[in-house]
Amino acid sequence: MDSGDICTPPDILELATEVTNRKENQSINQNTSFSENVILAYLKDLSDKFKPSSMWAKYSMLKSTLNIYNNIDITKYSKVIAFLKRNSEGHKGKKSFTFTSGQLKMFLEDSPDILYLFEKVALIFGIMGACRRQEHPA
């Protein structure tokens, strides 16, 4: 028995034990094949839920994880790369809206301090913190 088990209520301890046993059984019975077809099926399943840019991020995380923990290099899986490229065809990423310097200046000068002082201070710190010394306005 663990020292934390003494302070844990019996019903919670029983539930935790049940969950732990279930997890151990799942990991024993789980498919541990990392073949190209298994990876491809996994990414195909994810592609219904995620945009192509997110799919590349998922692939990158999967690649790193498999390489570190299982010493498997999936960069050689040509079907997977081809699927990701095909999935990305025609996809245009969204551009984030950015304010112009004129809009920022107008906000800082025209908006009332009583309502927007916090936002103005945050804006100034954000802009000044993101600039190099040479880029600061005079």
Q: Which of 37, 35, 40 is nearest to 84 (CA)?
A: 40
Q: Which domain holds residue 120?
A: 101-135
Of 19 and 106, the structure prediction assigns the larger pLDDT to: 106
In a domain, 25, yes or no: no
What 3-state class would DSSP assign to 40? helix
Residue 108 shares a structural domain with residue 65: no
In a domain, 53, yes or no: yes
Residue 37 shares a structural domain with residue 85: yes
pLDDT tens for each residue of 112-131: 999 999 889 888 887 777 66
In a domain, 124, yes or no: yes
Q: Which two tokens stand for residue 59?
A: 């692939």
Residue 80 shares a structural domain with residue 105: no
Q: Which two tokens stand for residue 4?
A: 């934390």
In a domain, 79, yes or no: yes
In a domain, 14, yes or no: no
pLDDT tens for each residue of 32-67: 678 888 888 889 988 889 989 899 999 999 999 999
In a domain, 43, yes or no: yes
In a domain, 22, yes or no: no
Q: Classify the C-alpha dihedral 14-20-24-29 as positive or negative.
A: positive
- pLDDT score of 28: 37
Provide the mean pLDDT of the chain: 80
Residue 86, φ and ψ in degrees, nearest 5: -65, -40
- pLDDT score of 56: 93
In a domain, 63, yes or no: yes
State how many domains the chain has.
Answer: 2
How far apart (Å, rounded) are the C-alpha atoms in residues 127 and 105? 12
Q: Which two tokens stand for residue 80?
A: 């997977």
Residue 50, φ and ψ in degrees, nearest 5: -120, 155
